[in-house]
Amino acid sequence: KPEDLVNGEGAVVNVNGKRAGAYKDEDGVVHIVDTTCTHLGCELEWNSGDCTWDCPCHGSRFSIKGDVIEGPAEKPLKRIDER
């Protein structure tokens, strides 16, 4: 569960039966995004070294809040929750 993460940790989690990406920041706030890449829909993977969501298909990268860091994706990830 997202709440089980320790500060600074990210993981693919299950939120209401859907795959989602959660990251708990240093202040204990959990940022949850839809891990479906906004380019062509591949499932993103957590990159613990850089704290980013990376796409295995064509290399798009997103921040923990879902903003695009690197294309080809142009649209940010859907934000599911922040708590």
Q: Which residues bind ligand FES (CB under 6 A)?
A: 37, 39-42, 55, 57-60, 72-73
Provide the minimum distance between the beta carbon of 57 and ligand FES in the complex, in angstroms, as a whole number: 4
Q: Please, which residue, 30 or 64, has the CB nearer to ligand FES?
A: 64
Q: Please, which residue, 12 or 57, has the CB nearer to ligand FES?
A: 57
The alpha carbon of residue 36 and the mean position of all alpha carbons in its chain are separated, in whole angstroms, by 9
Which residues, in sequence order, are bridge partners of residue 33?
21, 79
Distances 69 to 8, 17, 25, 55 between C-alpha atoms, Å: 19, 28, 18, 11
Provide the minimum distance between the beta carbon of 65 and ligand FES in the complex, in angstroms, as a whole number: 17
